[in-house]
C-alpha cells in the first residue's frame, strides 16, 4: 500500500484548506466553469489581451515628450471613449498583478511548484517581474506627479546624465529619446510576455490558454463598471521644482517608491532580493515528495497509446519496439516530467503501469474487491467510493468515514446507516480510476459506485477529472443508475455526507435513474444561470476594486522641508595627454588632439550658512577617463533664507568660489544650481 505523501507538508495543506473553503463558498452560487478562482492563470492572459487592445487605442493618441505627454493624456481623457479606454487599461494592469499573485498562491498552496513544475514556477516569476516593470513604465509616460517621483528616484539612483536631462531644460531633446525608449519598453515587454507564456506551458500537454468565454465577459463587465464608478485621473503635471507632498501612488506598481523613501534602497532592495530570490528558488529550496515517477512493466505494454494520449505533463513517449512481443510500440516514461498523478495508471487497460512509490492500480482494485466480497458475504449493501489523496487530506470525507482510515492503508471499510457499508479507496487522483473496475464492481454486487471528484476546473493535475469523465463519455454503457459522479469542493464534507445520507434512503434507491454526466467538450460555451453570472461578476468587480484602496496617498519625506539640487555636466580640464607607450610625435603636433587626454576629476563643496552640506569628487566617465563629468545631488535644506556658497576644484589649483548668494528656501520647493561651463559659475534656477 502507498503512503499518502500529500498531507506531509502541513503548513501548505492548512493554507490550501482555507483557500479551497473560499473557492467552495463561491461554488455554492456559481458553477465551477464560472468560478473566477479556478481560472486565474487564463484570466491573466485575458487581461494581457485587454491591455493590448486598450493600449493600442491609447498609443494612437499619445505623444511622447516632456512638453506634450501630459497634455495628450488629458486630451485622451476629454472624451468618454478615451477616458473609458484609459481607465480599463489602468484597472486591467492592476488586475493582472492581483490575478498573477492569486494564481501563484494557489500553485504554492497546492504544492505545484517543484519537480517538473520548476519551469512554470520560475518563468511565472519572470513574467510577474515583467508585468510589474511594464506597468511602472506606463505610469512614467503620463508625466504627472507619479512620473515625477519615479524620475526623482531614477535621478537619485542613477545620477549621471540621464537624470540631468530633467533638471537642465536645455537638454530636453534628450528627454524625448527617454520617452521613446520607455514607450518602446512599455509596448515591447508585453509582446515578449507571449514568449514567456509559451515557455510557461512548455512542460504541459494541451496547455489551456483561454479563459472560459463567460468568465472573460464577467471580467470585462467588472473592468467597465469599475472604470465608470471611478475613472482614472492623472495627478498634477510633473514639476521638478516642487517636492511631492500629496500624490496617489498605485501600490501594485509604485508602492515601492514610498517604501524606498522610508527605508532606503539597501533595506528595500535587500529584502526584495532575499524574499523574491528565495521564492524564485523555492523548487530547489523546499522540494516536496510524491510517489512517482510512473514505471512501465514492458512485457505488459501493448503499445495502445492510451497513457501517452492522457498524460497531462508530456511525460510519456511512444517508441518503436523490436523485441519478442508482437507489439510495435512501447510506452516510455520521462521521470523528470512525471508528477505522479497516476492518470496513466487509470488509463492503462493492461495494468502495465504503477508508481515507483508503491501505488498500483491492480493491488488497490484487488483490495477493493476483497472488501466488497467480505461485506457482501455478510449481507450488507455496499457502496464503493473512489476519492483522491487531496480530497482526503483537505477533509472532504465525513468523520464517519475518516475515522476508519488506518496508517498506510488506502482501502478501508466503514459502517453507514441501516447496516450499509462503504468501501473507500484513496487514489493519487480521481483520474487513476480504471473504468473496467466499474463493470467488475457492478458485476460483483456493489450497490452504488461514487466517483468523488473535485470541481472540474480545480484539478490538482490539470486534467484528472477531465480524463476520467472523458473515458466515461466514451463508454456510455458504464453510466448506469448506480454510478454517481460527484464534484465537490475539497473540504466540503457536509455536501458529501448529505449526498450519502440521501443515497441510503429507500425511496432514493427505488427512484434511482442514470444521471447525465457533465460535458467534456465545448464547456467554454456553457451559459451561466443569472445567479452564477451575477456572483462571478461581483467577485471580479470586488477583486478589481481592491485597486481603489491600494491607490495610496503618499508624500516624499523631504516635502516637509525644502531642497537644493546641484547639477553638474562639464567636459573638465585635461591633466595629461594619453600618448601610448613608445610613440613619438612630430614636432608641433598636439598629442591631446590626437590621442585625447586624461581629465582632472571635479570636486564640489557646498556650504549653507557656513556648514558644509556636500563635499564630493566626480570622476570623468568613459573607460579611458576622458568622458564628460556629470553629477546630480539632492540636498535637503531646512526652509528659510540661507547663504549658499559653492566651491569647485577642477585642476591642480585649489578650490575657487563659483556661486555665492542668499537663497530663500520655501517648504516643498526645490532650487537647482546648474553649472554653466561658459561662465564657469553655478546658476540658480
The residue number with the shortest CB distance to ligand HEM is 124
CA angle at 38 for the pair 35 and 39, rounded to the nearest 5°:
95
Count Cα atoms within 13 angstroms, Cβ side, for 507: 1
- Is residue 344 part of the contact set for ligand SF4 (CB under 6 A)? yes
Cβ distance to ligand SF4 smaller for residue 330 or 658 = 330
Contact partner, 301, from ligand SF4, ligand HEM, none, Cβ < 5-8 Å per class: ligand SF4
Q: Is 455 in the site for ligand SF4 (CB under 6 A)?
A: no
Residue 350 interacts with ligand SF4 (CB under 6 A)?
A: yes
Question: Does residue 296 interact with ligand SF4 by CB under 6 A?
Answer: yes
Of positions 347, 401, 554, 644, contacts ligand SF4 by CB under 6 A: 347
| Binds 145: which of ligand HEM, ligand SF4, none (CB < 5-8 Å by kind) | none
Using rule CB under 6 A, residue 316 touches ligand SF4: yes
* Cα–Cα separations (whole angstroms), residue 461 to 122, 211, 429, 432, 454: 19, 18, 8, 11, 11
The answer to whether 206 contacts ligand SF4 (rule: CB under 6 A) is no
Judged by beta carbon distances under 5 to 8 A according to partner kind, the member of ligand HEM, ligand SF4, none in contact with residue 45 is ligand HEM
- Is residue 361 a contact point for ligand SF4 (CB under 6 A)? no
Burial per residue of 301-318, b for 16 or more beta-carbon CB atoms within 10 angstroms, e otherwise: bbbbebbbebbbbbbbeb
By the criterion CB under 6 A, which residues form the site for ligand HEM? Answer: 41-42, 44-45, 100, 103-104, 107, 112-113, 117, 120-121, 124-125, 127-128, 131, 197, 200-201, 204, 207-209, 462
How, if at all, do strands 562-570 and 670-676 pair? parallel
Among 238, 342, 368, 602, binds ligand SF4 (CB under 6 A): 342
Determine how many CB atoms are found less than 10 A away from the CB of residue 1.
16
Least Å from the CB of residue 297 to ligand SF4? 8
Judged by CB under 6 A, which of 172, 245, 302, 356 binds ligand SF4? 302
d(C-alpha 75, C-alpha 63), whole Å: 11
Using DSSP's 3-state secondary structure scheme, residue 602 falls into strand
Q: Which entry of ligand SF4, ligand HEM, none binds 27, CB below 5 to 8 A by partner kind?
A: none
Residue 78 φ/ψ region, left for φ over 0, alpha for ψ in the -120 to 50 degree band, beta for the rest: alpha
Q: Which of ligand HEM, ligand SF4, none is residue 257 near (CB under 5 to 8 Å by kind)? A: none
Choose between 333 and 503: whose C-beta lies nearer to ligand SF4. Answer: 333
Please compute, for residue 80, the number of CA atoms within 13 A of its CA located in the half-sphere on the CB side. 2
> Quick check: 450 and 515 in contact, CB under 8 A?
no
- Residues 462, 468, 474, 479, CA torsion sign: negative
Q: Does 85 bind ligand SF4 (CB under 6 A)?
A: no
Per the listing, cell 468587480 goes with: 541
**Chain mean position to CA 17:** 21
Which three cell numbers, joined as nine digits, stand for 397?
470525507
| Sequence-ordered list of residues with C-beta below 8 angstroms from that of 15, at least 6 positions apart, any chain | 109
Is 333 a binding residue for ligand SF4 by CB under 6 A? The answer is yes
Q: Rounded to the nearest 5°, which phi and psi values hold at 22?
A: -60, -45
Q: How far is the CB of 218 from ligand HEM (least distance, A)?
A: 17
Pick the closer one to ligand SF4 by CB: 354 or 421. 354
Closest by alpha carbon to 355, among 292, 262, 267?
A: 292
CA–CA separation, 132 vs 18, rounded Å? 28
44 binds, among ligand HEM, ligand SF4, none (CB under 5 to 8 A by kind): ligand HEM
91 binds, among ligand SF4, ligand HEM, none (CB under 5 to 8 A by kind): none
- Measured in whole angstroms, how far is the alpha carbon of residue 652 from the centre of its chain? 56
**Smallest distance, Å, CB 453 to ligand SF4?**
16
* Cβ-contact 386, 441 below 8 angstroms: no
Residue 200 touches which member of ligand SF4, ligand HEM, none, C-beta under 5-8 Å by kind: ligand HEM
The partner in contact with residue 316, picked from ligand HEM, ligand SF4, none with C-beta cut-offs of 5 to 8 angstroms by kind, is ligand SF4
Contact segment (CB under 6 A) with ligand SF4 among 346-354, 539-547, 649-657, 670-678 equals 346-354
The least CB distance from residue 275 to ligand HEM, in Å, is 13
- 301 scored as a contact of ligand SF4 (CB under 6 A): yes
167 interacts with ligand SF4 by CB under 6 A: no
Minimum CB–partner distance for residue 487 and ligand HEM (Å):
18
Q: Cα–Cα–Cα angle for 32, 37, 39, nearest 5°? A: 75
Burial class of 257 by CB neighbour count within 10 A (0 to 12, 13 to 18, 19+): buried
Which residue stretch of 86-94, 296-304, 476-484, 540-548 sits at the interface with ligand SF4 (rule: CB under 6 A)? 296-304
Q: State the binding partner of 131 from ligand HEM, ligand SF4, none, CB within 5 to 8 A by kind.
A: ligand HEM
Q: 441: buried, middle or exposed (CB in 10 Å: 19+, 13-18, 0-12)?
A: buried
- Under the criterion CB under 6 A, does residue 338 sit at the interface with ligand SF4? yes
Nearest distance in Å: CB 111, ligand SF4: 14
The one of ligand HEM, ligand SF4, none whose footprint includes residue 496, by CB under 5 to 8 A per kind, is none
Nearer of residues 353 and 489 to ligand SF4, judged by Cβ:
353
| 50 scored as a contact of ligand SF4 (CB under 6 A) | no
100 binds, among ligand SF4, ligand HEM, none (CB under 5 to 8 A by kind): ligand HEM
SS3 579: coil
Q: Which residue is it, cell 476520467?
A: 468
Contact 557, 152 (CB under 8 A): no
- Under DSSP, the state recorded for 246 is S
294 binds, among ligand SF4, ligand HEM, none (CB under 5 to 8 A by kind): ligand SF4
294 lines the binding site for ligand SF4 (CB under 6 A): yes
Determine, following the binding rule CB under 6 A, whether residue 76 of this chain makes contact with ligand SF4. no
490 CB-near residues (< 8 Å, 6+ apart):
16, 17, 20, 24, 390, 391, 394, 395, 396, 454, 458
How many of the chain's residues bind ligand SF4 (CB under 6 A)? 29
Q: Which value, in Å, is the radius of gyration of the alpha carbons in the chain?
A: 34
Question: Which of ligand SF4, ligand HEM, none interacts with 342 (beta carbon under 5 to 8 A by kind)?
Answer: ligand SF4
* 120 touches ligand SF4 by CB under 6 A: no
Q: Does residue 353 touch ligand SF4 according to CB under 6 A?
A: yes
307 is a contact residue toward ligand SF4 (CB under 6 A):
yes
Q: Which residues of 32-59 are buried (b: 16+ CB within 10 A; e: fewer)?
A: bbbbbbbbbbbbbbbbbebbbebbebbe
For the segment 614-653, give every residue that binds ligand SF4 (CB under 6 A).
none
Minimum CB distance to ligand SF4 smaller for 303 or for 572: 303
Phi, psi of 613 (to 5 degrees): -105, -15
Member of 55, 303, 381, 455 binding ligand SF4 (CB under 6 A)? 303
List residues near ligand SF4 by CB under 6 A: 292-294, 296, 301-307, 311, 313, 315-316, 331, 333, 338-344, 347-348, 350, 352-353
Amino acid at each position: 500500500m502507498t503512503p499518502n505523501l500529500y498531507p506531509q507538508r502541513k503548513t501548505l495543506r492548512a493554507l490550501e484548506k482555507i483557500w479551497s473553503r473560499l473557492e467552495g463558498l463561491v461554488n455554492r452560487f456559481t458553477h465551477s466553469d464560472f468560478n473566477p478562482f479556478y481560472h486565474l492563470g487564463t484570466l491573466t492572459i485575458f487581461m494581457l489581451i485587454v491591455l493590448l487592445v486598450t493600449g493600442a487605442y491609447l498609443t494612437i493618441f499619445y505623444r511622447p515628450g516632456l512638453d506634450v505627454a501630459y497634455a495628450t493624456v488629458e486630451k485622451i481623457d476629454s472624451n468618454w471613449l478615451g477616458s473609458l479606454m484609459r481607465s480599463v487599461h489602468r484597472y486591467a494592469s492592476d488586475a493582472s498583478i492581483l490575478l498573477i499573485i492569486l494564481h501563484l498562491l494557489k500553485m504554492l498552496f497546492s504544492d505545484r511548484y517543484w519537480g517538473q513544475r520548476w519551469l512554470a514556477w520560475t518563468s511565472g516569476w519572470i513574467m510577474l517581474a515583467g508585468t510589474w516593470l511594464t506597468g511602472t513604465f506606463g505610469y512614467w509616460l503620463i508625466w504627472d506627479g507619479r512620473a515625477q517621483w519615479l524620475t526623482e528616484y531614477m535621478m537619485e539612483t542613477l545620477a549621471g546624465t540621464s537624470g540631468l536631462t530633467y533638471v537642465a531644460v536645455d537638454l530636453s531633446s534628450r528627454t524625448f529619446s527617454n520617452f521613446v525608449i520607455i514607450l518602446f519598453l512599455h509596448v515591447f515587454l508585453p509582446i515578449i510576455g507571449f514568449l514567456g507564456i509559451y515557455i510557461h506551458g512548455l512542460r504541459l500537454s494541451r496547455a489551456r490558454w483561454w479563459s472560459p468565454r463567460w468568465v472573460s465577459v464577467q471580467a470585462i463587465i467588472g473592468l467597465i463598471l469599475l472604470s465608470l464608478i471611478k475613472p482614472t485621473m492623472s495627478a498634477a503635471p510633473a514639476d521638478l521644482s516642487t517636492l511631492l507632498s500629496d500624490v496617489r501612488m498605485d501600490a501594485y506598481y509604485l508602492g515601492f517608491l514610498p517604501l524606498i523613501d522610508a527605508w532606503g534602497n539597501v533595506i528595500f532592495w535587500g529584502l526584495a532580493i532575499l524574499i523574491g530570490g528565495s521564492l524564485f528558488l523555492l523548487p530547489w529550496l523546499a522540494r516536496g515528495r510524491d510517489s512517482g515517477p510512473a514505471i512501465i512493466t514492458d512485457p505488459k505494454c501493448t503499445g495502445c497509446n492510451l497513457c501517452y494520449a492522457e498524460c497531462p505533463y508530456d511525460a510519456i513517449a511512444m517508441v518503436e519496439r523490436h523485441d519478442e512481443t508482437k507489439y510495435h510500440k512501447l510506452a516510455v516514461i520521462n521521470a523528470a516530467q512525471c508528477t505522479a498523478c497516476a492518470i496513466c495508471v487509470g488509463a492503462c487497460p493492461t495494468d502495465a503501469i504503477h508508481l515507483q512509490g508503491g501505488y498500483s492500480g491492480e493491488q488497490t482494485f484487488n483490495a477493493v474487491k476483497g472488501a466488497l466480497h467480505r461485506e457482501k458475504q455478510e449481507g450488507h449493501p455496499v457502496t464503493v467510493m473512489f476519492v483522491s489523496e487531496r480530497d482526503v487530506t483537505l477533509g472532504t470525507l465525513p468523520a464517519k468515514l475518516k475515522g476508519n482510515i488506518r496508517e498506510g492503508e488506502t482501502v478501508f471499510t466503514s459502517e453507514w446507516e441501516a447496516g450499509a457499508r462503504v468501501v473507500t479507496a484513496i487514489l493519487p487522483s480521481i483520474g487513476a480510476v480504471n473504468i473496467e473496475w466499474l463493470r467488475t464492481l457492478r458485476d460483483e454486487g456493489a450497490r452504488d459506485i461514487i466517483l468523488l471528484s473535485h470541481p472540474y476546473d480545480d484539478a490538482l493535475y490539470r486534467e484528472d477529472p477531465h480524463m476520467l469523465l472523458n473515458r466515461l463519455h466514451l463508454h456510455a454503457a458504464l453510466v448506469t443508475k448506480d454510478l454517481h459522479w460527484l464534484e465537490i469542493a475539497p473540504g466540503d464534507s457536509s455536501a458529501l455526507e448529505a449526498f450519502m445520507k440521501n443515497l441510503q434512503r429507500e425511496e432514493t434507491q427505488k427512484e434511482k435513474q442514470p444521471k447525465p454526466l457533465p460535458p467534456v467538450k465545448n464547456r467554454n460555451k456553457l451559459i451561466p444561470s443569472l445567479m452564477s453570472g451575477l456572483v462571478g461578476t461581483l467577485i471580479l468587480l470586488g477583486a478589481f476594486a481592491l485597486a481603489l484602496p491600494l491607490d495610496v496617498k503618499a508624500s516624499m519625506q523631504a516635502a516637509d522641508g525644502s531642497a537644493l539640487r546641484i547639477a553638474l555636466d562639464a567636459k573638465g580640464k585635461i591633466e595629461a595627454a594619453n600618448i601610448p607607450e613608445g610613440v613619438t610625435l612630430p614636432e608641433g603636433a598636439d598629442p591631446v588632439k590626437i590621442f585625447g587626454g586624461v581629465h582632472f576629476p571635479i570636486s564640489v563643496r557646498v556650504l549653507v550658512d557656513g556648514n558644509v552640506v556636500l563635499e564630493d569628487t566626480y570622476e570623468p566617465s568613459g573607460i579611458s577617463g576622458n568622458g564628460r563629468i556629470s553629477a546630480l545631488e539632492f540636498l535637503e535644506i531646512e526652509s528659510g533664507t540661507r547663504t549658499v556658497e559653492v566651491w569647485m576644484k577642477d585642476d591642480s589649483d585649489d578650490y575657487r568660489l563659483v556661486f555665492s548668494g542668499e537663497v530663500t528656501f520655501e517648504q516643498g520647493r526645490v532650487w537647482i544650481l546648474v553649472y554653466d561651463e561658459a561662465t564657469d559659475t553655478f546658476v540658480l534656477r
